[in-house]
Homo-oligomer: A and B are copies of this chain.
């Protein structure tokens, strides 16, 4: 028996491959967004706010499927960068409503273009139908993993 007889096969491990792919996406998106002063953690939050401004942290946490402290920290960095402001919710003394600044709004077109460029390069070898199928497959995995154990 050789060492490889007992070894886990990385090339057929979904988790291993997914992690590698995600790091490659993150590296490229980070490089694309850096000149705009946006970090990769801020981008999903910005997408939500560009779609609908003035949400609470709770609403964003649910939409993004990240933990609340993760978002709280990200929002603090975004506030320091001048992308958003936090305003007390007039109807709930516990809540903060998150609003884009003019600067935050102004970055939408350029940031989305750069993210699209990364996606395009990643799927450059895929036909339209292959791309659709691949994205649907990812959706199936996400659904399977979000289902209760």
* Docked CA distance A25–B134 (Å): 17
Residue from A8, A50, A112 with most neighbouring chain B CB atoms (10 Å) = A8
* Docked CA distance A118–B15 (Å): 8
Tell me, rounded to whole Å, the shortest Cβ–Cβ distance linking A72 to chain B.
Answer: 17
A14 lies within 8 A of B8 (CB): no
Number of interface residues of A (CB under 8 A): 60
Instruction: Encode contact with B along A55-74: 1 for CB under 8 Å, 0 otherwise.
Output: 00000000001100000000
B8 lies within 8 A of A138 (CB): no
Partner of A141, one of B26, B44, B47, B123: B123
Q: Which residues of B contact A6 (CB under 8 A)?
A: 50, 108-109
Chain A interface main SS type: helix
- Asked whether A129 is an interface residue with its Cβ less than 8 Å from the other chain, the reply is no
* Docked CA distance A119–B18 (Å): 10
Tell me, rounded to whole Å, the shortest Cβ–Cβ distance linking A101 to chain B.
Answer: 16
B3 lies within 8 A of A16 (CB): no
B12 lies within 8 A of A135 (CB): yes
B14 lies within 8 A of A123 (CB): yes
New A-B pairs, 14, CB < 8 Å, besides A7-B50, A24-B146: A3-B51, A14-B131, A14-B134, A14-B135, A15-B118, A15-B122, A16-B44, A19-B25, A21-B22, A21-B141, A28-B145, A122-B144, A125-B143, A134-B141
